[in-house]
A and B are shown apart, each in its own frame.
Chain A
Amino acid sequence: MTTIATNISLYDSLPELFAEQIGGASYPEARKAAFERFQQLGFPTVKTEDWKYTNVIPYLKNGIGIQLPAAPSLSAAQLEATGLLLPDVYRLVLVNGELQPQLSELPPASKVTIRKMSEAAEEAAFQQYFAKSKKLDEHHFAQLNTALFTDGLFIEAKAKTQVEQPIHIIHLYHSTGNLLVQPRHLWVAQPGAEMQIIESVAGLEQSGTVLVNSVVEAVVTERAQLSHYQLQTSGQHSRFINQTLVQQHGKSLYNNYTFTLTEADLVRNNLNVSLDDERTETHLYGFYLAMGNQLVDNHTSVDHRMPNCESNELYRGVMLDKGTGVFNGKIFVHEDAQKTNAFQQNNNMVLSPDANIYTKPQLEIFADDVKCSHGTTIGQVSEDALFYLKARGIGDVTARSMLVKAFAFDITAQVKIPAVRKRVEQLASQYLTAAANN
């Protein structure tokens, strides 16, 4: 049952805003349909099953605007100062979802097509896949995004190409008051293509709070491979609601790595992977840290629709201070999806008396010849392991921090790009050491 929360100002102002925007906007048909659907759904409340532990309503108050301010001109030095740059990558810099070509280093056009979403209508892949993701219409915020998205990136790796260097997308958000930003992306790996995408995020001359409601639709076609890194590392005065909807065709591979090590007070990641054909492989890895008053919510779902697919998911979280962690992992095996192997694990460490964790690993299985398992744990630093280290002359604080890091680094060890791994490990170390010393 969905109870529609309508008594909030943003919701009330939306129809008017939508009417204003729709005139000059791209893809009006899709937008209108999505807005109608959104009006049916409303914003989710805690009575909406998928938002049971994450109350977004308080975050939607305080007069949020949707009119994007003009992007400030950004120098290369300023970009450097964000500390987000990575070596040996193609770079795409976005301010409030809009591509900044002067700061970007594009991959060769022979291999990858890159367009602004607002200018991608002519692309065949765009027409084929835009707003077509399964379950898109179940996501309240994704519908709002479809209705009102501003811009984003259309990326298409051409068939049988290997994009050697990772594509690094730097999302910068600029605001002059409380702002709702809705970027929208569509990434397609054509048959046999191999592509790696890294996403980083930071604030840029912000005043007020930015609520980012982003949607990524990714299509991994036959025999294609896509590795997707989401580095949610900075972002004070930001809130993130991310929808990542992935469709996998036969024999494709999709890897997702989500690291939430941020100062944003709300992060909600919806990651849906739909396995639409046989013999696919999917790996989802996540590490999240909930500190301060943060709420970090990871909702993942893997939809096994066809036989002989394999999915593997490992999420770990550390809860500090008054942080709240939420994990919901769903594996859905449809009737036809025989010979499915699906594995899911979620481990949590709660290191503060005021921290909370809510976890729900969920299996829904309609086929019999499957191997599915899930496990979840909530615990602390093992006393035995601590004793072992202390017996070898390692102090309490160091020993604890070693154990927590070991717990976290099991995930980072899965990262295939050394620079990304180094960045994540450094950041995790920094936060965990600071917490251990408190």
Chain B
Amino acid sequence: MSAEQDILQELAGREYEFGFETQIEMDIAPPGLNEETIRFISMKKNEPEWLLEWRLKGYQLFKKLSMPTWQNFELPEVDFQGVSYYAAPKNKVKYESLDEVDPELLRTFEKLGIPLEEQKMLSGVAVDAVFDSISVATTFKKQLNELGIIFCSFGEAVQDHPELVKKYLGTVVPQSDNIYAALNCAVFSDGSFVYIPKGVRCPMELSTYFRINAKNTGQFERTLIIADEGSYVSYLEGCTAPMRDENQLHAAVVELIALDNAEIKYSTVQNWYPGDKDGKGGIYNFVTKRGICKGHHSKISWTQVETGSAITWKYPGVILQGDNSIGEFYSVAVTSKKQVADTGTKMVHIGKNTKSRIISKGISAVHGQNTYRGLVKIGPNASNARNFTQCDSLLIGDRCGAHTFPYIESKNNTAMVEHEATTSKIGEDQVFYLNQRGIDSEQAVNMIVNGYAKEVLNQLPMEFAVEAQKLLSITLEGSVG
């Protein structure tokens, strides 16, 4: 095993591939959180009065709420006053074509393997690139416009479609939901807004790439997706971040609303900087994501591949309010080095004949700690509710951990709930079998892990599945031993 160990050691020491920093002039708010900051953000973004008030209300709640204490990891002190809450690229202009976009920025995306122009043409992906909170390029707008689909930055939506924003903002994740959601309400910088009109099937995957860039800036995106009756949309979110020594806070809020017969598919690949092998640096990813199946026969599906961040702490949930609605959650979470992932889902069954399915695959390596925390709640009126949950954990190395905290609450005697969980390590016999066939240990482990995660990866749109597989091997290769 020793030669193997060497390779693995070397891989463990591999630096974060996407760790580089772009030099672009930033318009940064001074660090600190107070009403002034919030007014500053609101003013910068030219927001209407009601939104400013909404932000201030969020700030009041933030001051009242206390930090949660139930999580299964040590929550580092977050200095809310040391964070700058607004950073926007300077010389903000509306770009007509990509030629006008700062070439420095385009090069950044290229390094990430996301050449805006070519990839979007070839793959049919409309990319709304969020670069440190502000949209700089929106593509395929015309084609979407023809169908009546609204896909724009949150800021634009506030200007152009205030009635929709006002109607749905904060209806799924209330401002008082948790302290980070309240913080987001107060200081959110930008994000994406999607509205799919009645009966429209969005012809392409909508995609946003987030990227944390400037030093000492937290990112507070806000995404709102509304699928009107009978519509369908698939939304992709992907993230990579440059290397940092200081911890960065990311507290986004995502709200999904599916009306009658609508379907929303939300996929995430998250690969923010996880910190070095001693756990130094790395992003804190404290996200609140929730969808509501408001209409009957609606469906919301979350798929996530979490490979980055020092701490990932999120529970994308679905409120199954409409009769016959369906909620799904597919997750692969990989923790290596000193990473921590406390993630899972909440399925709240309220309507009749509602169904939910949860597939969670955790992979822990080196000192990684992986927690599945989920809630399946069957309300007294949710007749014939059905849930299936499977959460598996794979352990690689003897200093990592895998934990499961599934809460199951049923108040209805027609509900059928199943939960199963397993924890095991990669079988030596499996690796041996592959070794015998000329496959080295590293590749063998890769194959096994990919097979293990396949059920989830299969849920991703094709473009993403490729990236996700790549990320899995990058994150894990360094840890097998």
Pick the contact of A335 from B70, B398, B405, B410 — CB < 8 Å?
B398
> Are A378 and B408 CB-contacts (below 8 A) given A353-B413, A363-B421, A373-B423?
yes
B contacts with A: majority SS: strand
A contacts with B: majority SS: strand
* Bound: A267/B458 CA distance, A: 46
**Taking the complex as formed, is A371 at the interface, i.e. its CB lies under 8 A from any CB of chain B?**
yes
Pick the contact of B398 from A356, A369, A377, A380 — CB < 8 Å?
A369
* Bound: A365/B407 CA distance, A: 18
| B residues 212-241 touching A (CB-CB < 8 Å) | none
* Bound: A49/B373 CA distance, A: 14
> Are A350 and B419 CB-contacts (below 8 A) given A360-B407, A360-B408, A364-B401?
no
* Bound: A353/B400 CA distance, A: 43
**Taking the complex as formed, is B403 at the interface, i.e. its CB lies under 8 A from any CB of chain A?**
yes
> Are A379 and B424 CB-contacts (below 8 A) given A360-B408, A363-B402?
no
Contact with A along B401-429 (1 / 0, CB 8 A): 11111111111111111111111110000
B66, closest chain A residue (CB): A1
CB contacts (< 8 Å) of B405 on chain A: these are 360, 362
**Taking the complex as formed, is A351 at the interface, i.e. its CB lies under 8 A from any CB of chain B?**
yes
* Bound: A423/B401 CA distance, A: 43
* Bound: A372/B407 CA distance, A: 18
* Bound: A49/B421 CA distance, A: 21
Task: Report yes or no: A373 in contact with B413, Cβ–Cβ below 8 A.
Answer: no
* Bound: A124/B130 CA distance, A: 71
B399, closest chain A residue (CB): A335
CB contacts (< 8 Å) of B279 on chain A: these are none
**Taking the complex as formed, is A359 at the interface, i.e. its CB lies under 8 A from any CB of chain B?**
yes
Task: Report yes or no: B425 in contact with A368, Cβ–Cβ below 8 A.
Answer: yes
**Taking the complex as formed, is B69 at the interface, i.e. its CB lies under 8 A from any CB of chain A?**
yes
Binds A, one of B254-262, B389-397, B430-438: B389-397
Select the residue from B409, B410, B413, B419 with max chain A CB neighbours within 10 A: B413
Nearest chain B CB to A52's CB is how many angstroms away? Answer: 9
B390, closest chain A residue (CB): A375
Q: Say which size band chain A's interface belongs to.
A: 35 or more
**Taking the complex as formed, is A37 at the interface, i.e. its CB lies under 8 A from any CB of chain B?**
no
Task: Report yes or no: A379 in contact with B407, Cβ–Cβ below 8 A.
Answer: no
* Bound: A93/B101 CA distance, A: 87
> Are A365 and B421 CB-contacts (below 8 A) given A351-B413, A356-B410?
no
CB contacts (< 8 Å) of B400 on chain A: these are 366, 368
CB contacts (< 8 Å) of A363 on chain B: these are 393, 402-404, 421, 423
Task: Report yes or no: B408 in contact with A362, Cβ–Cβ below 8 A.
Answer: no
Nearest chain A CB to B473's CB is how many angstroms away? Answer: 20
Nearest chain B CB to A294's CB is how many angstroms away? Answer: 16
Task: Report yes or no: B413 in contact with A370, Cβ–Cβ below 8 A.
Answer: no
CB contacts (< 8 Å) of A227 on chain B: these are none
* Bound: A350/B420 CA distance, A: 19
* Bound: A369/B426 CA distance, A: 9
Nearest chain A CB to B134's CB is how many angstroms away? Answer: 39
CB contacts (< 8 Å) of B416 on chain A: these are 377-380
* Bound: A365/B393 CA distance, A: 10
| A residues 82-117 touching B (CB-CB < 8 Å) | none
| A residues 6-59 touching B (CB-CB < 8 Å) | 49, 53
**Taking the complex as formed, is A374 at the interface, i.e. its CB lies under 8 A from any CB of chain B?**
yes
- The 17 sampled A-B contact pairs (Cβ below 8 Å) are A1-B70, A338-B398, A350-B412, A356-B410, A360-B406, A362-B403, A362-B406, A363-B393, A364-B401, A372-B423, A373-B423, A375-B419, A376-B419, A378-B416, A378-B417, A379-B416, A380-B414
Beyond A353-B413, A355-B413, A379-B417, 8 additional pairs, beta carbon < 8 A: A356-B409, A364-B72, A368-B396, A368-B398, A370-B423, A375-B418, A375-B421, A378-B415
Give the 6 A-B residue pairs with the shortest CB-CB distance, closest first.
A368-B395, A378-B417, A363-B404, A375-B420, A372-B423, A373-B422
